[in-house]
């Protein structure tokens, strides 16, 4: 029996970890044991425990309660906490997801102790090194034993950087598809049966925009946040908006943009709600006319559920969505956002399969097991 530890901390990682945990427990429990370590990067009930409950993820074996802070401070606390656990327990491998500070801390702690690292959602690039996510993912990729890539673009990015071509020994790359797509397929019906959010908010299908914004690129820059929220006010003149708000965005808007925040909160067409549960957000995504977001995960889910998307950035790691004309990059430009809304509403989009066959998680688990078996 091999033993791995999965490191999570931020909302999207908990959601992705649900897919792997489910397959390990249901199909491979005689070959692989999984412990979960939660760094505590996200800690509000609606940013963390709600997903464990809803998606039936086993409670973390370890909780570091690191909380918020400067990136260096936060990552350092995680690194120290994770290392102590990796020294105490003998794990055969460490699984990390995506590109947050929790991802980097997990990979770095494991690399120093020479424990194999499995990076799920590897190879993504924005080519904007100012993004903390870009720093985290490049560093993590370079430390990883197997890089599980969700898209052909992510494979191409790694080859461009010398994986398999430079002659320098690097981690193995594997095109498996996207675990979030697996999740979307698995939970779509369940969410439809269990979520009552459309009824609660009195929403008609395809008669509202779903809006989310949280990336520090948009929220820490007051002029960009002002532009995005002013665009939201203009969109609200045309249709209803549902805005599940990330705590980061709410703190900044309340503190630094009180005039706009008051307008948003009082607008008759804008429904601001706390961070949604996974089942509720899926229902909101599936029934929106258009999704406006800077979230990586929400962009992809828009594509999975065949909803057009406006991306509040000027680049994206999921560029194939834009190339397939299912999403438009508008940055924080109000004119472009309003124009994109008109364009996308009337567009006939062909949603070609871009994110695998729905079996990414199976492929990942079997490859982890075979790699660890070979290391005997």
Catalytic residues: 214
| Per-residue binder mask for ligand UD1 (CB under 6 A), 159-198, x = binder | ----------------------------------------
Site for ligand UDP in 226-245 (CB under 6 A): 244
Considering only 36-44, 81-89, 177-185, 349-357, which stretch makes contact with ligand UD1 by CB under 6 A?
Answer: 36-44
Site for ligand UD1 in 55-94 (CB under 6 A): 68
Q: Does 12 bind ligand UDP (CB under 6 A)?
A: yes
Taking the least distance from each CB to ligand UD1, the nearer of 124 and 203 is 124
Considering only 19-27, 182-190, 244-252, 317-325, which stretch makes contact with ligand UD1 by CB under 6 A?
Answer: 244-252
- The angle at the Cα of 270, spanning 265 to 275, to the nearest 5 degrees, equals 80
What tokens appear for 130 in the block?
């100012």
Among 150, 171, 297, 356, binds ligand UDP (CB under 6 A): 297
Site for ligand UDP in 276-295 (CB under 6 A): 276, 278, 281, 295
DSSP class per residue in 73-142: HHHHHHHHHHHHHHHHS--SEEEEETTSHHHHHHHHHHHHTT--EEEES-S---S-TTSHHHHHHHHHHH
- Map residue 240 onto helix, strand or coil: strand
Q: Which of ligand UDP, ligand UD1, none has residue 144 at its interface (CB below 5 to 8 Å by kind)?
A: none
Q: Which of ligand UDP, ligand UD1, none has residue 47 at its interface (CB below 5 to 8 Å by kind)?
A: ligand UD1
Taking CA atoms, 323 is separated from 20, 319, 375, in Å, by: 29, 6, 41
Q: Does 274 bind ligand UD1 (CB under 6 A)?
A: no
Site for ligand UD1 in 126-165 (CB under 6 A): 132-133
Residue 109 CB contacts under 8 Å (≥ 6 apart), including other chains: 78, 79, 82, 83, 86, 94
Give the position of tokens 């494991």. 110
Taking the least distance from each CB to ligand UD1, the nearer of 101 and 144 is 101
Give the position of tokens 């706390």. 274
Helix or strand run (H / E) with residue 309? strand 309-311
Alpha carbons 329 and 110: distance in angstroms, whole number: 36
| Per-residue binder mask for ligand UDP (CB under 6 A), 192-231, x = binder | --------------------x-------------------
Phi and psi (nearest 5°) for 192?
-60, -35
- Tell me the angle at which helices 360-374 and 179-194 cross, rounded to the nearest 10 degrees: 130
Taking the least distance from each CB to ligand UDP, the nearer of 21 and 371 is 21
Taking the least distance from each CB to ligand UDP, the nearer of 157 and 277 is 277
Q: Does 294 bind ligand UD1 (CB under 6 A)?
A: no
Q: Which of ligand UD1, ligand UDP, none has residue 60 at its interface (CB below 5 to 8 Å by kind)?
A: none
Taking the least distance from each CB to ligand UDP, the nearer of 100 and 336 is 100
Beta strands 327-329 and 309-311: pairing type?
Answer: parallel
Number of neighbours of residue 120 by Cβ within 10 angstroms: 28
Binding site residues, ligand UDP, CB under 6 A: 11-12, 15, 212, 244, 275-276, 278, 281, 295-298, 301
């Amino acid at each position: 029996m091999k033993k791995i530890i999965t490191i999570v901390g931020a909302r999207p990682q908990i959601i992705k970890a649900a897919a792997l945990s489910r397959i390990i427990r249901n199909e491979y429990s005689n070959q692989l044991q999984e412990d979960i370590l939660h760094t505590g990067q996200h800690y509000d009930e609606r940013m963390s425990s709600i997903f464990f409950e809803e998606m039936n993820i086993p409670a973390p074996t370890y909780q570091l309660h690191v909380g918020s802070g400067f990136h260096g401070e936060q990552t350092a606390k995680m690194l120290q906490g994770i290392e102590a656990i990796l020294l105490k327990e003998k794990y055969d491998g460490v699984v990390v997801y995506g590109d947050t500070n929790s991802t980097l801390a997990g990979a770095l702690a494991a690399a120093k102790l020479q424990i194999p690292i499995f990076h799920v959602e590897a190879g993504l690039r924005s080519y904007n090194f100012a993004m903390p996510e870009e720093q985290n993912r490049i560093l993590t990729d370079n430390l990883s034993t197997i890089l599980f890539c969700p898209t052909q673009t992510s494979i191409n990015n790694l080859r461009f950087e010398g994986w398999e071509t430079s002659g320098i020994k690097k981690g193995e790359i594997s095109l498996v598809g996207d675990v979030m797509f697996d999740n979307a397929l698995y939970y779509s019906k369940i969410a439809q049966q269990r979520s009552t959010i459309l009824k609660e908010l009195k929403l008609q299908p395809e008669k509202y925009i779903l809006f989310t914004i949280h990336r520090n690129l948009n929220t820490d820059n007051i002029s960009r946040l002002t532009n995005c929220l002013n665009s939201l006010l203009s969109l609200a003149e045309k249709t209803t908006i549902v805005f599940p708000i990330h705590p980061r965005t709410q703190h900044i808007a309340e503190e630094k943009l009180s005039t706009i925040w008051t307008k948003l909160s009082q607008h008759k067409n804008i429904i601001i709600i706390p961070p949604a549960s996974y089942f509720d957000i899926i229902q909101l995504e599936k029934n929106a006319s258009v999704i406006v977001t800077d979230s990586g995960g929400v962009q992809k889910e828009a594509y999975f559920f065949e909803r057009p998307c406006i991306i509040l950035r000027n680049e994206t790691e999921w560029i194939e969505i834009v190339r397939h004309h299912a999403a438009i990059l508008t940055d924080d430009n109000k004119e472009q956002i309003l124009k994109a809304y008109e364009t996308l509403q009337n567009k006939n989009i062909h949603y070609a399969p871009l994110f695998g066959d729905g079996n990414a998680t199976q492929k990942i688990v079997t490859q982890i097991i075979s790699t660890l078996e070979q290391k005997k």
